[in-house]
Amino acid sequence: MRMRPTLSWTPAGDLMPGTTDLEPVADALRTGGVLVLSGAGLSTESGIPDYRGEGGSLSRHTPMTYQDFTADAQARRRYWARSHLGWRTFGRARPNAGHQTVAAFGRHGLLSGVITQNVDGLHQAAGSEDVVELHGTLTRVLCLSCGAFSSRRELALRLEEANPAFAPVAAGINPDGDADLTDDQVEGFRVVSCTDCGGTLKPDVVFFGETVPPQRVEHCRELVRAATSVLVLGSSLTVMSGLRFVRQAAKEGKPVLIVNRDRTRGDQHALTRVSLPLGTALGTVAHRLGIDWS
């Protein structure tokens, strides 16, 4: 029986309330060696919605699973039609103040690394280096048959050529670049194949129901071991792929600090959770540290 992905969680017991006190975050950065773990909430100010926050996409949208994508040609057509339309908006997104501030922290030697659960590439666009993309990236496409990689922009051009009249109006865009379309709107959409072998193409992202490559997980665990503290930015930590690193840090006695408007699954492991908009919060911290992030 196929299992649906973990899309929500129910808080158990009393969790600490959010605060507006940013000094613990500033103190951690002053010490240096901070490992950033970012989620969809960091990109909302770039026009990309999150999954679980207020108005999050999961209230109207169930993400594609790996099992459905690989087993069902109709599911793949539906995914690529919706994703192709979403890419027109998603591919134009630009880094916001949060991404730029994280990059500035890195330039000033305050960070030991960045792990992101996002697939939008905005950390790198803002200037962050050596970013670990835990769930992959939408900017690259993988052939499931021969393993060849290709550019998403190249694929977008091929899909435009194959579907010149495709211009439906979407109800919304989701964090994975997937647009909300009806089955009628995707009817007749033509999916293209790998130019090398004719195989099935998949975005180089970890779908729900798919596992993060073990070597990537181990690299992230090494980053946690090397860090002085972990700073979570804009993640509910609902899925284990990110939560495990917070649990690891707490077990190793390293401070975990969270900046997220809503409660998270990792609150019980955190020294503090700051409930403020990320761009505002990180800009304030940068100012206190005398860092110009703009």
What are the pLDDT digits (tens) for 275-293?
A: 999 999 999 999 999 999 8
Which CATH number among 3.40.50.1220, 3.40.1390.10, 3.40.190.10, 3.30.70.2860 corresponds to the domain 23-288?
3.40.50.1220
E strand or H helix at 139, and its extent?
A: strand 136-143
Residues 204/149, Cβ–Cβ less than 8 Å: yes
Tokens 């999150």 label which residue? 50
Span 170-206, pLDDT tens digits: 766 676 667 778 888 889 899 999 999 999 999 999 9
pLDDT for 15 beyond 90:
no
- d(C-alpha 83, C-alpha 156), whole Å: 10
pLDDT for 56 beyond 90:
no
E strand or H helix at 31, and its extent?
A: helix 23-31
Looking at residue 167, its pLDDT comes to: 84
- d(C-alpha 97, C-alpha 42), whole Å: 9
Whether residue 229 is annotated as binding a ligand: the answer is no
Give the pair of three-digit tokens for residue 72: 């069902």
Q: Are strands 136-143 and 111-116 parallel, antiparallel or unpaired?
A: unpaired
Beta bridge partners of 231: 36, 257
- Check residues 90 and 191 and name the one with the higher pLDDT: 191
Residues 50/277, Cβ–Cβ less than 8 Å: no
Q: Are strands 201-205 and 136-143 parallel, antiparallel or unpaired?
A: antiparallel
pLDDT for 258 beyond 90:
yes
- d(C-alpha 270, C-alpha 260), whole Å: 12
Mean pLDDT of the chain: 89
Whether residue 143 is annotated as binding a ligand: the answer is yes
- d(C-alpha 127, C-alpha 52), whole Å: 27
> Of these residues, 135, 219, 269, 287, which one is catalytic?
135
Phi, psi of 258 (to 5 degrees): -125, 130
Whether residue 197 is annotated as binding a ligand: the answer is yes
- d(C-alpha 17, C-alpha 15), whole Å: 6
Name the nearest CA neighbour of 35 among 242, 287, 293, 203: 242
Please indicate whether residue 135 is annotated as part of the active site.
yes
Domain boundaries, the chain: 23-288
pLDDT band at 60 (very low <50, low <70, confident <90, very high): very low
Whether residue 160 is annotated as binding a ligand: the answer is no
Angle 154-57-237 (CA atoms, 0-180°, nearest 5)? 95
Whether residue 292 is annotated as binding a ligand: the answer is no
Residues 70/203, Cβ–Cβ less than 8 Å: no
Q: What is the signed CA dihedral for 274, 279, 284, 285, rounded to 10 degrees?
A: 70
pLDDT band at 5 (very low <50, low <70, confident <90, very high): very low
pTM of the model: 0.88
pLDDT for 45 beyond 50:
yes
Whether residue 122 is annotated as binding a ligand: the answer is no
pLDDT for 1 beyond 70:
no
DSSP sequence for 224-275: HHH-SEEEEES----SHHHHHHHHHHHHTT--EEEE-SS--TTGGG-SEEE-
Looking at residue 228, its pLDDT comes to: 98
Whether residue 231 is annotated as binding a ligand: the answer is no
Residues 115/166, Cβ–Cβ less than 8 Å: no
Looking at residue 154, its pLDDT comes to: 95
- Check residues 6 and 248 and name the one with the higher pLDDT: 248
Whether residue 38 is annotated as binding a ligand: the answer is no
Whether residue 14 is annotated as binding a ligand: the answer is no
- d(C-alpha 88, C-alpha 179), whole Å: 10
Whether residue 220 is annotated as binding a ligand: the answer is no
DSSP sequence for 45-96: GGT---SSSTT-GGGT-PPPBHHHHHH-HHHHHHHHHHHHHHHHHHTT----
pLDDT for 33 beyond 70:
yes
Span 109-132, pLDDT tens digits: 999 999 999 999 999 999 999 999
Residues 25/98, Cβ–Cβ less than 8 Å: no
